[in-house]
Chain A
């Protein structure tokens, strides 16, 4: 299809104007609003005790969620690719479930399971509070990020096959040695990509976490909750500043993603 210069430029203009209005203009505007009163004002907003506690809580959640997702994600991917068992289709579907479930429903389901009136309410009665405290937020974040590592590692495992692993085990390597020396090095870029996706989503999760968080400022408020709460308290500069911090994280994630994608394609 050879499109003449005129219509081609018209189509290009439509596409660019649409993207400009929908994406670039709003993001540019919020950056402008954040730094309108200088970088000092921005710094003041993100160094308040509430901000610092929100940033550290968010990082704490990420630090708990990522290792768990890596270990179990690689585990599930290995089981799906290397294992031969009945019901593999079902396991595949379960892994994809979190993508199809609204974050709010994730929060509600956790309350109905772990809350005081829930099925596992006994845990809360025994004094180990899950809902409206850190474990609940961690569970919510694990739920929404569960597919990433599995889905990034799985195709790589398929592609490399298991001939090398077989060779290793024939030569007397045990399962652990085989995994550590053969499997892990070959999946490392796919795994890295999955980890970045997990971190990005964990940092930015809002819906699921807001349902199970007690939402007390300076205590159980993550960065995303801080953005929303400050906005609702009409503290706009504070809200913009926290949003800009999150955008910074997102930008780093985007850059790392394209880097790892490039590396894994070359490998």
Chain B
């Protein structure tokens, strides 16, 4: 992380005078130096405003959820998330998200490989297309997929209100994560090692397994982790597709349903559970990155 230049420069006063006696304090010079180091900053008052803003917008609402979920103590919390509809929603969410993440890891790496190592007409367009799911509003993604796999499907493939449909919706919205995290790394992989391996007689599968995959692994894991975190909390793209029957309710729909029917404690308990799962995944990713850099450094 680059540091402000003054911190490194240090040394004597900016005005070029050398201190006559190091033991005598020079408050004015020091305060001036601090002012310079702070140039372009926001000052203590600004810092306060920034903190206040973040607190009101982000922290306080989330704190209110956590507090609500613990209103009746830990036993009530446990009871809320182990009720049959809650566990069913949570189970469905986790299973579909895991399957989606695995498919994403495979297909995302494949697509990234094609985009980096292959040449064909219209590659730039395909490359631009990858970002489409990020740009498209989630509810539009829902409608878009329903035209293909809904009740009026032109190919007779009616998956409306099935677990398949939920999975496809999640695949749609999480597509860019793995592709976009693997692609730049694949671009940088040293071709020399691959060529050396090939000249020593290694087949393509061996080269991929022993040279390319290890280099891609950190990016692949982080892309897949982000996709999983997104899939677990996804709402907009799933809501119209799943039919919203209790059997097909994912966790976010369960939360929505509970808050609409005025059962805020149940909604808060499931919210906190989802948040904990997401944070655990993100924390694991961070630990994994840290472990990799430590072992390599």
Q: A residues within 8 Å of B by Cβ?
A: 1-3, 7-8, 11-12, 14-16, 18-19, 22-27, 29-30, 33, 72, 75-76, 78-79, 82-85, 91, 94-95, 97-98, 100-113, 117-119, 139, 142-143, 146, 158-159, 161-163, 165-166, 168-170, 175, 178-179, 182-183, 200, 203-207, 210-211, 224, 227-228, 231-232, 236, 239-240, 243, 246-247, 250-251, 253-254, 257-258
Contact = CB atoms under 8 A, between A and B. Distances in A.
Contacts of A94: 54, 58-59
B132 A18 contact: no
B53 A102 contact: no
Given A100-B229, A146-B58, 11 more contacts: A2-B198, A7-B204, A14-B110, A29-B147, A75-B53, A79-B50, A91-B54, A102-B251, A139-B57, A207-B239, A257-B135
Contacts of A2: 198, 204
Interface in B14-49: 14, 35-43, 46-47, 49
B47 A79 contact: yes
A224 B137 contact: yes
Contact of B140 (A1, A25, A104, A227): A227
B138 A207 contact: yes
- 3 closest cross-chain pairs (CB), A and B: A204-B137, A102-B233, A165-B40
A82 B28 CA distance: 22
A109 B143 contact: no
Contact of A11 (B46, B110, B132, B212): B110
B279 to A, nearest CB: 7
Given A16-B126, A29-B154, A101-B275, A23 B143 contact: no
Nearest to A74: B42
Contact of B40 (A76, A178, A246): A178
29 contacts: A1-B204, A3-B204, A7-B204, A12-B118, A15-B107, A15-B110, A76-B54, A78-B41, A82-B41, A85-B47, A91-B50, A91-B51, A104-B256, A105-B233, A105-B275, A106-B61, A107-B256, A107-B259, A108-B267, A111-B259, A112-B64, A139-B57, A162-B5, A163-B5, A170-B36, A207-B256, A240-B143, A250-B136, A251-B135
B271 to A, nearest CB: 4
A98 B2 contact: no
B255 interface: yes
Interface string B198-225: 1000001001100110000000000000
A contact patch SS: helix
A109 to B, nearest CB: 4
B4 A75 contact: no
Given A3-B117, A204-B138, A29 B4 contact: no
Contact of A103 (B68, B113, B114, B236): B236
Nearest to B238: A207
Contact of A8 (B5, B118, B146, B148): B118
Given A19-B126, A119-B64, A82 B4 contact: yes
A240 B152 CA distance: 13
Nearest to B15: A170
Given A112-B65, A142-B57, A161 B2 contact: yes
Given A75-B49, A113-B60, A22 B175 contact: yes
A101 B232 CA distance: 10
Given A16-B126, A103-B236, A207-B138, A23 B207 contact: no
B279 A100 contact: yes
Contacts, number: 282
Contacts of B198: 1-2
Given A8-B118, A15-B110, A79-B46, A26 B145 contact: yes
Contacts of A142: 57
B139 interface: yes
A84 B67 CA distance: 32
Q: Which of B51, B67, B139, B175 has the most CB of A within 10 A?
A: B139
Nearest to B53: A72
A175 B274 CA distance: 43
A138 to B, nearest CB: 11
B131 interface: yes
A253 B135 CA distance: 7
B1 interface: yes
Interface string B242-283: 000000000111011001000010011001001100110010
A170 B235 CA distance: 52
Contacts of B86: none
Contacts of B36: 166, 169-170
B140 A243 contact: yes
A72 B143 CA distance: 34
A236 B152 CA distance: 10
A53 B50 CA distance: 34
Contact of A206 (B49, B139, B232, B233): B139
Nearest to A231: B240
Contacts of B204: 1-3, 7
